Amino acid sequence: MTSYRKYAWPSEGQFITDMLSAGFATMEEGEVTFVDCYVHQIGIVGSDPRWAVDIIWVAPSDFQQYVVWPVPNSAVHWFGGWEGQYQIDYCEANPTLCNEAE
Amino acid sequence: MSYYDDASLVLIPSGVKAAKVYSQKPTNGTGDFTFARASTATRTNASGAIESVASNVPRLDYMTATGTLATCPMFEVEQQRTNLVFPSDVATTQTRTVTATAHTLTFYGTGSVTLSGVATGTLTGTGANDRVALTFTPTAGSLVLTVSGTVTNWQLEAGSFSSTLIETTTATVTRLLDSVSISGASALIGQTEGTIFLDVDFRVVSSGGIRVFFNLEGSVANQFTGIAVGTTNNGNNIQYAGTIYNLTQGRHKIVCTYNSATNVSKLFVDGAQRGASTFAAFASTIDRISILGRVNPFNSFQVDRQQFGGCNQFALWKTALSDAECIQLSTL
């Protein structure tokens, strides 16, 4: 089952290294292709030095240590059509904060 | 001969449903393609209106690469793109963070958008139903987009040409790539000789890496067995055994034949032979087909290296058509 997660990696380099190492990306002729997932690298957001990344997982999601849960109405990026599912997942993962999202 | 009667697979886009593009031939469903796009997208309908399309639903699009409405639809295939401005329906002045790479700004309407900050320039609209475009390369940093007058359905995307509209409301939005493929289709593919035909509305790829028009590929256990035709790293050159043919934006007909008896493969584009190559027999059974993308041989066999384009027709024959037939078939 596909799932949508938002991440904050320590750095862009760490993100690419982790994805290649875990087999979720391949490097061919200098071009990175992501495997079993769809990726949008948002980059640095505001004053947060971490590397923000949105991923839709076709495979079971990974890298739980870097998952972040921005309040839905403050998110800076969406994959088209996934806003509603993110809202549901946000409330399941953060029941005490869910009122904030509504 | 009848091209239709002799073909093992014929796809002329007309019928789709979620996750499926129907072929006219064969009629038993074994030639129907699996479609995937894990996000919403938009298409232009027969009346010229932009419509939203749900995730995993193929887009039958009537808008050609040259900005005219076609009389028959094509199925649209695009790579991933992100609309950096929001909301997209009615433009407002805003500042966006951009990288130092080519970006393309598009909109409809009679107003204008003036760039300042890390890029300069002005794009002026020409009409409510006309989409205008400006490609520019900023330095990295804050780009100010100052809107004047009526500017609707606007989009700012990284890339040297525009893609279909990505609707936004409160944040940037990414449209994910389209993929069209079949697996387990060995009975439809000539295993010792054959012909592949693609009628494509080509949107032009520029320096985006190798992008594939079509690919016949083996099973997971038999990687790197197959045949593919695509454009090169450097843009819109179609490369085949060292012969390069420059594709312009717009409609093209591509025919590729292969024959292990003669050890020859040939490429025909737009009514003439453009290349030839030695061809060794496939090392194993070929059973997967992708259109406007590649069956990735390195991993789980997802489709990647998508073109930006529309498929008007796709067909396979289990024999290598003659040169005269290929010239006739590929003539625009």
| Coil vs helix vs strand at B325 | helix
Strand-by-strand arrangement of the A37-45 sheet: A37-45, A48-57, A3-9, A67-68
Amino acid B237: pLDDT: 63
CB contact under 8 A, B40 and A31: no
**Contact across the interface for B209 and A31, Cβ inside 8 Å:** yes
Q: Summarize the confidence of residues A49-66 as an average pLDDT.
A: 93
pLDDT at B66: 86
- Residue-level pLDDT at B34: 94
The predicted structure's pLDDT at residue A66: 97
- What is the pLDDT, as a whole number, of residue B207? 55
Identity of the residue in B54, B177, B298 whose CB atom sits nearest the CB atom of A26: B298
pLDDT, position B262:
93
Q: If 0-12 CB within 10 Å is exposed, 13-18 middle and 19+ buried, where does residue B250 land?
A: middle
**What is the structure's pLDDT at A33?**
86
**pLDDT value, residue B242:** 61
User: Which residues on A lie below 8 Å from B82 (Cβ)?
Assistant: 40, 77
Which pLDDT score is estimated for B245?
Answer: 81
At A101, is the pLDDT very low, low, confident or very high (cuts 50, 70, 90)? very low
Question: So what's the pLDDT on residue B236?
Answer: 60
> What's the ipTM?
0.94
- Which of A35, A54, A73 is opposite residue B302, by nearest beta carbon? A35
> In the predicted model, is pLDDT for residue A102 greater than 50?
no
Which residues of B are less than 8 Å from A73 in CB distance?
Answer: 170
Interface check A62 vs B, CB under 8 A: no
Q: Which of A38, A53, A57, A74 to mutate to test the interface with B (most CBs of B within 10 A)?
A: A38
Rounded to whole angstroms, what are the CA distances from B260 to A65, B193, B282, B319? 53, 6, 8, 11
E-assigned strand segments in B19-63 = 20-21, 33-36, 41-44, 50-53, 60-63
Q: What is the pTM of this model?
A: 0.93
Within an 8 Å CB–CB cutoff, is residue A102 touching chain B?
A: no
- Contact at 8 Å (CB) between B236 and B202? yes
A84 to chain B, any CB pair closer than 8 A? The answer is: no
**pLDDT at residue B284, rounded to an integer:** 83
Low-confidence ranges of chain B (pLDDT < 70): 205-208, 220-225, 232-243, 297-301
Identify whether the C-beta of residue B161 lies closer than 8 Å to the C-beta of residue B204.
Answer: yes
